[in-house]
Amino acid sequence: MNLGEKNNPVIELQKAEVKLQNGEIIFLDIPKTVYPPREDSALLIDYLETLKPNGVAMEIGCGSGILSILLAKNNWKVEACDINPYAVAAAKKNSASASVQHNIIFREGGLGEENFSIPEGTKLLFWNLPYLNPPLPNEPRLDWIEEASMSDLEKKGWGHQLADYLEINRRYLEPDLLVVLLQRKYPKSPSNTEYWLNHGWSHRVIKSIWIHDEKLELVGYWKPGQGIPMKIIQECFSTMDEAKKLPNFGWQRIRTNKQIRGRGRRESTWVSNEQDLLATWNIKKSILGNINPGILQIIIGTKISDLLEQYCKWPNDILDNSGSKIGGILIEMDNQEEHLRIGIGINYLAKQIGSMEVIGWDEKTPGITTNNISQMIDAILSTLFEEHELLTHNLSPDILKRDSWRGLSKLLSRGYSLKIKDKKSRIIGLDGDGGLSTLIEGKKSQNQSIDELTWLF
């Protein structure tokens, strides 16, 4: 369909213009049923303007075509689609007006339709997800074409449908593909980040905005390692030692099925069985310019505890709600190495270690395999620490400290308290080094040593 052709019906058009950071103005003609650039679009526009040419990109739900036009002006090759034929016609016309039609292919269709596919070599896939709730039975409805393009699915959102499609077609995709979605964070949408995390995708929030009573987030998703797989070995003394042998580039990690002489805190032995998660990640020491190792250990512990729907006990233990240990985190580094090593051990089944009884994740989340847990934890650590060419990576010490304290507070809310040197104390926060801030007999104190602590429940 071409707007304005003699044999086509007259379509009511609205005019819009978008001013770019370099001062250039893009003029748009937009039919009534096509989504125009709005406040949410500005999040994507601000992000896309920062991207240097990197190959092929695809846009789902192109609307007026403004986002694809913007990328094409940055010398990307773009393929864009929309289920609304008026949107496709308008986007073609607008791209020609902007003199970038040679860099964009527009086609009618969308996710879930037979003709949907992702172009070979795509490095960037982006979508301003439909995030309106489907109307209730007694509520007024939009025109069908507007409702189809602007409303999310009721139970399993469009974002989840896309994640499933990418998993099925993973072997055809670029290993460093970045998926950028504009989605609703609050009220919680049927399309949410947790679904991607549980399917092994890393993510980073690029930007967020409140529009009236809704919070929208622009989120980038990618697969950990971007083509570098986790090394899996049958048996070793310790994954901490094996990690020293990994290549000195990219996102490197190693997992073993059996560990003979694993280490815990202060060189204690980590007793493990087959099917336990036993793995180590190499992280560049340069992150220590922003993060104290103490905070680093706590934030990892709290994120993994949240994944397992359990609790983190300062500084590195993962517990269930009865106080039984499920796993732990250990960080090591050597002066001569460029990386620090993050060792993670999580029990699969309950077992007895000396006088201590520990439990496993199978008791809490049966049916989840070691591979499942490994992929999800890989995604968590990649989210925190892995770099992606199309994303900025600014770790905020203040945010990490805040999130660490929030994670620890979940355990304290269950009635845990402390004795320090046999004196009952109240935990009031974390210091900048990841130590506990406490009140002992009304006086504030800082504590970095686990040896002086007795936990009470």
All structural domains of the chain, each given as residue ranges with its CATH number in brackets, are 13-222 (3.40.50.150), 231-392 (3.30.930.10), 417-456 (no CATH)
Comparing 369 with 350, the larger pLDDT belongs to 369
Comparing 241 with 456, the larger pLDDT belongs to 241
Kind of pairing between the strands at 122-128 and 56-60? parallel
Question: Rounded mean pLDDT of 341-365?
Answer: 84
Query: Is pLDDT above 60 for 360?
Result: yes
Question: Rounded mean pLDDT of 168-188?
Answer: 95
Question: Rounded mean pLDDT of 43-59?
Answer: 93
Predicted confidence at residue 6, as pLDDT, reads 39
Task: Express as a percent the part of the chain with pLDDT over 70.
Answer: 89
Predicted confidence at residue 367, as pLDDT, reads 84
Predicted confidence at residue 135, as pLDDT, reads 47
Task: Express as a percent the part of the chain with pLDDT over 90.
Answer: 58
Confidence label for 124 from pLDDT (cuts 50, 70 and 90):
very high
CA distances for 159 relative to 18, 322, 362, 414, angstroms: 27, 36, 29, 35
Q: How far apart are CA 178 and CA 229, in angstroms?
A: 17
Comparing 440 with 254, the larger pLDDT belongs to 254
Question: Rounded mean pLDDT of 355-381?
Answer: 89
Comparing 123 with 440, the larger pLDDT belongs to 123
Q: How far apart are CA 424 and CA 230, in angstroms?
A: 45
Confidence label for 53 from pLDDT (cuts 50, 70 and 90):
confident
Dihedral sign for Cα 156, 158, 160, 161, please.
positive
Q: Answer whether 0.75 is exceeded by the pTM.
A: yes
Query: Is pLDDT above 50 for 287?
Result: yes
Query: Is pLDDT above 60 for 139?
Result: no
Weakest mean pLDDT among 10-14, 83-87, 137-141? 137-141
Confidence label for 36 from pLDDT (cuts 50, 70 and 90):
confident
Residue keyed to tokens 């670029």: 174
Mean pLDDT of the chain: 87
Query: Is pLDDT above 80 for 270?
Result: no
Predicted confidence at residue 267, as pLDDT, reads 59
Q: How far apart are CA 22 and CA 18, in angstroms?
A: 11
Predicted confidence at residue 87, as pLDDT, reads 94
Quick: pLDDT tens for 195-241.
999 999 999 999 999 998 999 999 999 999 999 999 999 999 999 99
Partnered with residue 186 across adjacent β-strands are 215
Predicted confidence at residue 286, as pLDDT, reads 87
Query: Is pLDDT above 60 for 146?
Result: no
Residue 115, burial from CB neighbour count under 10 angstroms (0-12, 13-18, 19+): exposed
Weakest mean pLDDT among 24-33, 218-227, 238-247, 289-298? 289-298
Confidence label for 155 from pLDDT (cuts 50, 70 and 90):
low
Query: Is pLDDT above 50 for 72?
Result: yes
Contact predicate 61/130, CB 8 Å:
yes
Predicted confidence at residue 338, as pLDDT, reads 87
Query: Is pLDDT above 90 for 384?
Result: yes
Question: Rounded mean pLDDT of 362-375?
Answer: 89
Confidence label for 131 from pLDDT (cuts 50, 70 and 90):
low
Partnered with residue 254 across adjacent β-strands are 231, 280
Confidence label for 265 from pLDDT (cuts 50, 70 and 90):
low
Weakest mean pLDDT among 263-267, 314-318, 339-343, 445-449? 263-267
